[in-house]
Structure 1
Amino acid sequence: MKILRISVPSPLSLWTTVRSVGAFNVACSFAALWTFVKVSSALRWRLKTTQLRGPPRTSFLYGVSHNIAASKDPGGMYDHWATKYGLAYMIPSVFGKTVVVLCDPRAVAHFYARETWTYVQTPISLAILEPLIGRGVLLSDGENHRRQRKALMPGFSNAAIRKLTSVFYDSAYKVKGAWDTAIESSKGGGVVIEVQNWMNHISLDTIGIAGFSHDFGSLDGKRASVTEVFDTFGTNQQASAWNQLFILHAIAFPIITKIPTQRTNLFKQLGVTMENISNELLIRSRREKDVNMSERNEEKSVIGLLIKSESQDAELHMSKEEIVAQVKVLLVAGYETTSSESWALIELSRHPDVQTSLREELLAFNADPTYDQLKADLPYLDVVVHETLRLHPPVGELTRLAAADDIIPLSEPVHTESGEMTNSIYIGKGTLIMIPVAAINRSSAIWGPDAKEFKPARWLAEDGISGKAKEVQGHRHLLTFVDGPRTCLGKEFAITEFKAVLSVLVKNFVFEMRDGPDTPIEVANGLLPRPRVVGEDGIGVPLRVRRYE
C-alpha cells in the first residue's frame, strides 16, 4: 500500500516564497480575493432582493446617510419618503450599501416575528455595543437570546412590578423633597430646575434598588463612578460632527471602531466601570442572599434570578460573562431610557391645558395610586404617558441584517425599481433592513393629519386611533417597545415607573418652559438621543418649577 505523504511548508520556506513572489503581488492577490468575495456577495444580494424605489444618492460615499445623520428630524425624512415611494422602499447607504426601509404594518409585524433568528444584529451594532454591555439579552440572537430572556422574565412580571411600585414612589418623593427645599429658598416662589439629570438619577437609583437591592444614592447627591461617566456623554457637542463621520465609516468597516478616539475611549472607560460595578453587585448579593430575604423571594428578584442562573444545574444556565452583561444592560437602560419622562415634562410645559387636566385627575386620588390603579383607573395619565411614548421613543430607528433569505408580505402594494407593482418583497441573505420607529409612530398615513401633534385626547376619542394605526402590532399600536421576541423586557417596569413619577411631580408642582412655551427643543446625543433646550450645554432641560397651591 502506498502512503500518501503531504509536505507542509515550514514558516521559513513560506516566507522565502513570499519574498520571491513579492510582497506587493501577495497583497494584490489578497485584495483581488477580497474584492471578488465582496462583488459576488453584492451580485447575489441584488439578484435575490426585490429592488424598490427610493431617494437618489446625494453623496457618492455616504448615499443619504449623511443627510439623515445631520437632520434635526430624521423621522420626518423617512415619513416623507414613505409618502413618495410607498410604505416599503430602499435608501442608498455608505460605500454602495443599500438599506430596505419598512413602514408597512404587515411587513413590520413579519419582521419582528422573525427577529433574533432570520434578522440579527448588524456588525456595526456588535462592534460598538458589545465592548460596552457584552452579549446579554440586548445583543444576543437566536437560542441564546431566548434562553437569557426566559431566565430574566420572572423579574419583570406584573406581580414583580406590583411589589416594586413603592420603590418608584420613594424615588419620586426624594425629588419632591429636594425641589421643595430649592423653592423655599428662592424669593419668587419658583425656581429654574434642570430636570433631565433628576430624571436620569431617579431611574438609576430605582433600577439599583429594584433590580439589585443597591442604592446608588445619586438622588442624595452621591457621585458614583457610573454616573460620572454617563454624564460625560452628550456634554461635548463640538465633537458630534466627527462622531457622525466616524460612525458612517464604521458602518462599512466595523474594524474602525477599534481606533482610539475620545468617544471610543469613553465607551471603553464606561465598559470597565460597569464591569466593576456589576461584579461588585453580584459578589455582595451572593453574600447577602441568605441574610436579607428568603431564597424563594430572592429568586424572583433580578439579582436573585441572575445568581440562580449561575448554577451549572440551572435549567436556564448563564455564563459569568452573560450574567455580568445583563447587569450592564439594566444599568444602561435604567440611566439612558429616561428621555420620555423629560419629554413629558416638556410637553406638559408647552400644553398647560393638558397639564391642568392631568393634575385634576391625579388630585382626585387622595393617596398615591396603587399599581393596579396606575394601570386601570387613571385614563388621562395613561394617555399622556402613551402620547409621549408615541411622539418621543427613546430609540428612533432599528437596523438588522438578514441571516437568511426571506419573503416579506405587504398590506398594500408598492412599485419596484422597474415600475412593476408587488405585494411582497424578496429579501436576500445579507440585506440590511431598517424599521424607522419614530417615523411610523408619527406617520400621517398611519395616525392621521395631526400625527405630529401632542394630543393625548386622541386616545380617548372613539375614532381617535385610525384603522391603519390599529394594524401596527406593538404595545398600544406603538413600536416604542418594538414587538415580537425582542419586545422590551422592561416595558411594564418603565411604564409603571413613568406613571408613578409623573403622578407625584404633577400633583405637587407646576411646570413652565423657562423662556416661554415656544422655546425650541432639539435632540442631543448621549448614549441615546435625549431632548435639550437649544443653546444649553450638554443635555440641559431647564424648566421653571413652582409648587402647586
Structure 2
Amino acid sequence: MKASIAIPDSPSSLWSTVRSVGAFNVACSFAALWAFVKVIRVLRWRFRTTQLRGPPRTSFVYGVSNDLVSSKDSATMYEHWAQEYGVAYMIPSVLGQTRIVLSDPRAIAHFYARESWTYVQTPLSLTLIENLVGRGVLWSQGESHRRQRKALTPAFSNAAIRKLTSVFYDSAYKVKSAWDTDLQSSKDGNAVIEVQNWMNHISLDTIGIAGFSHDFGSLDGKHASVTEVFDTFGNKPKASAVNKVLFLLASAFPIVTKIPNSRVKLIKKLNATMGEISNDLLVRSRREKQAEEEKSIIGLLIKAENQDAELRMSEDEVLAQMKVLLLAGYETTSISLTVSSLFNNLYARYSRSNQWALIELSRHPDVQTRLREELLTFGADPTYDQLKANLPYLDAVVHEILRLHPPVVEFSRVARVDDVIPLSEPVCTGSGKMTDSISVAKGSLFVIPIEAINRSLAIWGPHAKEFKPDRWLTEDGISGKAKEVQGHRHLLTFVDGPRTCLGKDFALAEFKAVLSVLVKNFVYEMRDGPDTQVEIARGILPRPRVVGEDSIGVPLRVRRYE
C-alpha cells in the first residue's frame, strides 16, 4: 500500500501551507536561539562562579524553595545549612536556578557596600514593586535611586523627626483614651484586645499627618477607603495552593505575576486605591501652595516636581513615593506594634516591631515591669533626644525586638557584573578545596537571610534565640562575631549600604514614643498565659497567631496600670 501525500488543491491553500511552515520554522529558530543563549549563560556562570556546597534538591521543579516558603521557621533552616556547609553556600532553587547564601559578616558588608550598582533588584522584585507602588525609590537603582533618595533625605533628618515626635504621642494617647473607655465598661477592669488594628490606625494617622499634613482620622472612627483594602490585603489568612505555585514559578518567570488571580486583583485594587489617595493629597497640597522651605515629605515632593530642581522627580515618581509611604505607614509599621513586606526599604516598616514588643512583654512580665519602672521614674513623655539617649532599657527592649523579629526575614539580589566576595573564614568548595573568597558571575542570585543572622548562635552566642534585652546594656553583651556585623547596632534589620532604611530614625522614634505611652498606662498579659505559643501564619502577608488557632492575630489581656 502506497503512502498518500496531501497536495494543496489551490494556490491559496499552497500559500497558506508555505506560510504555516515558515512560521513554524521561525518559531523553531527563535526557540533554538533562546536555548543556545541560555546554555551559554549557564556555562559562563559555572566557569566564572565558585561552585560551593549546599543542601540537595528536594524537588525537581522547586529545588528547596518550596521547603523554605512552607516552613514556619526558615531562619533555622538557613542556620542549619550554614553550620553544615559554611558561611557561604549554594541552594537549589526553582527550575534549575541556584542561589548563593551569604551568612558571613565580611561578605555581607562587601555585598551591601555595592548594592544598587553591583548587586541590584531581581526581575521579580522589580515587577512586584512596580505593580504595587510604581517606579519610585524602592524600584529605582543606581543613579536614579541616588537622586530620589537624596531628594527625600531631608524629610527624615533628626531636625524633621524632632518636630514630628508630638504627632507620635498624639496618636498613642488617642489609643489610650479608647482603651480607657473599654476598660471602664468592663466588670473586672480588664479586657481582651486584639491590638493589631489599633496599631494599624496609629500608623496610618501618623504617616498621614507627618508625611502629608493630612489626618485620616482612623483613630477617631472615620472611614478611610485605603483601610478597607489594606485590611483585606493583610488579613487574608492563607494563600491558595495555586497562588503559592505561581509565586514560586515567578522567581524564574516574572511574567507569571501578570496572570489574573485573586492575589493579582487585590494588588491592583490596592495600587489603584493608594493612587487615588496620593493624587488627591498631591493636588490639595499644590493648591494650598505649601511653603517652599517646608521639609515635610509632601513639601519636598512638590519641590522635586519643579523642572529647575536639582533633584527633579517626575509626577509618576512623586506618586510612587507617596504610595510607598502609605503602604509602609499602614501595613508594615503596624505589625511590629502588635506582635513583637512587604518589600525591602519601606521607610517605616520597622516600627511594626511594636506589635512583637507587646507580645514579648506579655510573655516576660519581669521585663515589662522593669521597663515600666524606667518610664515612670523618668516622668513626663520624653522628647525626641531623650528617647534616643536617656532611656537605656527602652532602647534595649526596642533593639532586642528588632533583632529577634525583623519585618523582612531575607533579602534577595542579583549580580549585575562579575565580582569577587571576600570571606572572614574559609569555606570548602564543591571540589573539596578551601577558599577565603568566592568569585561570582554576572547573573548570580543571592540571598541574605536577615532573620537567621540576627538569631545565629555562631554570631550572637548561646542565648541568641532568647529574648534578653540586657545583652544591650553590658559591655560584653554584644561580642565576638556580632560586632563584625555592619549595620545599625550590629543588626541587619535596617540592612546597610546605599539602600539602608531611609526612615530608620523615624521608625525608631515612633516605635519608642508609642511603646512608652502604652507601657506606662497599661499592663499586658497573654490571654491564655505566659507560655502561649505564637507562630507566623504564612499567607499574602506573614501574620502572628496563637498556635492551634485558625484566626490571625494574638489577643492580649489588657488592664490599666494603677
Residues 49 and 425 in structure 1, CA contact (< 8 A), matched pair in contact too: yes
Matched letter for residue 445 of structure 1: A
> Quick one: which amino acid aligns to residue 427 of structure 1?
V
Deviates more, 1:517-526 or 1:71-80: 517-526
Judged with a 3 Å threshold, the aligned counterparts in structure 2 of structure 1 residues 18 and 337 are, in CA distance, closer, same or farther, namely: farther
The answer to whether the 8 A contact 1:443-1:451 is kept is yes
2:350 maps to what in 1? Answer: none
Residue equivalent to 2:555: 542
- Cα distance in 1, alignment partners of residues 17 and 387 from structure 2: 75
Deviation string, structure 1 residues 232-251 (Cα, Å, up to 9, x no partner): 12433343443322210111
Kindly report which structure 2 residues correspond to 1:13-32, keeping only aligned pairs within 5 A, or say none.
Answer: 19=19, 21-32=21-32
Distance (Å, rounded) in 1 between the aligned partners of 2:402 and 2:118: 28
Q: Report if aligned partners of 1:196, 1:539 keep a CA contact under 8 Å in 2.
A: no
Determine the structure 2 residue equivalent to 1:344. Answer: 357
Are residue 245 (structure 1) and residue 245 (structure 2) matched?
Answer: yes
Q: CA 1:222 to 1:51, structure 2 compared with 1: closer, same or farther past 3 Å?
A: same
2:536 aligned to which of 523, 527, 533: 523
Report the secondary structure of 1:34's partner residue: helix
- Say if 2:535 and 2:546, in contact at 8 Å, map to a contact too: yes
Alpha-carbon separation, structure 1, partners of 2:557 and 2:242: 34
- Structure 1 residue 201: Cα displacement: 1.4
Map 1:287-326 onto structure 2 (within 5 A): 287-290=287-290, 294-296=291-293, 298=294, 300-326=295-321
What secondary structure is seen at the aligned counterpart in 1 of 2:90?
strand
Q: Which residues of 2 match residues 476-515 of structure 1 at below 5 A?
A: 476-515=489-528
- TM-score, normalised to structure 1, is 0.94
1:308-457 correspondence runs (5 A): 308-338=303-333, 339=335, 340-457=353-470
Q: Which amino acid aligns with 1:324?
A: L
Matched residue type, 1:433: F
Change (3 A) 1:242 1:346: farther
* Separation (CA, whole Å) in 1 of partners of 2:176 and 2:254: 45
Give the CA deviation at 1:83: 0.8
Helix, strand or coil: the match of 1:531? strand
Looking at structure 2, the residues matched to 36 and 274 of structure 1 have their Cα atoms a distance apart, in angstroms, of 43
1:52-451 paired onto structure 2 within 5 Å: 52-290=52-290, 294-296=291-293, 298=294, 300-338=295-333, 339=335, 340-451=353-464
What is the Cα deviation at residue 289 of structure 1?
Answer: 2.6
Deviation at 1:145, TM superposition (A): 0.3
Aligned pair in 2 of structure 1 residues 137, 22: CA closer, same or farther (>3 Å)?
Answer: same
When residues 128 and 18 of structure 1 are mapped into structure 2, their CA distance, relative to the original with a 3 A threshold, is: farther
**Structure 2 counterpart of 1:219, one-letter code:** L
Amino acid at match of 2:200: N
Q: Verify the 8 A CA contact 1:106 1:409 in the aligned structure 2.
A: yes
CA spacing shift, 1:193–1:547, aligned 2, 3 Å: same
Aligned length: 531
The verdict on how the C-alpha distance between 1:389 and 1:68 changes in structure 2, with shifts beyond 3 A counting, is same
Looking at structure 1, the residues matched to 532 and 241 of structure 2 have their Cα atoms a distance apart, in angstroms, of 24
Q: 1:505 to 1:464 in 2, by over 3 A?
A: same
Deviation per CA, 1:376-405: give whole Å up to 9, x if none: 000000000000000000000010011100
Aligned to 1:9: none
Which residue in 1 is equivalent to 2:43? 43
Q: Which amino acid aligns with 2:283?
A: I
Deviations 1:105-136 (A, max 9, x none): 01000000000101111111112221111111
Q: CA deviation at 1:84?
A: 0.8
Distance 1:18 1:379 in 2: 81
| Cα distance change on mapping 1:252 and 1:287 into 2, 3 Å | same
Alignment partner of 1:468: what SS? helix
- The answer to whether the Cα contact below 8 Å between 1:395 and 1:529 also exists between their aligned partners in 2 is no
Provide Cα deviations, 1:137-163, integer angstroms capped at 9, x if missing partner.
112100000000000000000110000
Deviation at 1:539, TM superposition (A): 3.2
User: Which residue of the partner structure matches residue 477 of structure 2?
Assistant: 464
**Backbone CA RMSD of aligned residues:** 1.5
Aligned residues of 1:235 and 1:538 also touching (Cα < 8 A): no
Q: Which amino acid counterpart does residue 108 of structure 2 have in structure 1?
A: V
Amino acid at match of 1:97: Q
Superimposed CA distance per residue, residues 71-102 of structure 1 (whole angstroms, 9 cap, x where no aligned partner): 00011111111111111110000000000000
CA distance in 1, matches of 2:541, 2:433: 39
**1:500 aligned partner, one-letter code:** A
User: Who is 1:7 aligned against?
Assistant: none
Give ranges in structure 2 of 5+ residues lacking alignment. 1-11, 336-352
CA displacement at 1:534 relative to structure 2: 3.1
- 1:450 deviates by 0.8
Aligned residue type for 1:317: R
Q: Shift in Å at residue 17 of structure 1?
A: 9.4
Query: Residue 233 of structure 1: SS of its match in structure 2?
Result: helix
Q: 1:141 to 1:412 in 2, by over 3 A?
A: same
Residues of 2 paired with 1:503 and 1:219: CA distance? 18
Q: Relative to structure 2, which stretch is displaced further, 29-38 or 527-536?
A: 527-536
Aligned partner of 1:6 in structure 2 is: none
Structure 1 pair 365–20 and aligned structure 2 pair: CA distance change class (3 A): closer
3-state DSSP of counterpart to 1:159: helix
2:289 partner SS: helix
Matched residues in 1 for 2:27 and 2:106: separation? Answer: 48
CA positional deviation for 1:333: 1.1
CA contact (8 A) 1:233 1:525 kept: no
Q: Is the 8 A contact 2:286 2:302 kept in 1?
A: yes
Q: Which residue of 1 aligns with 2:4?
A: none
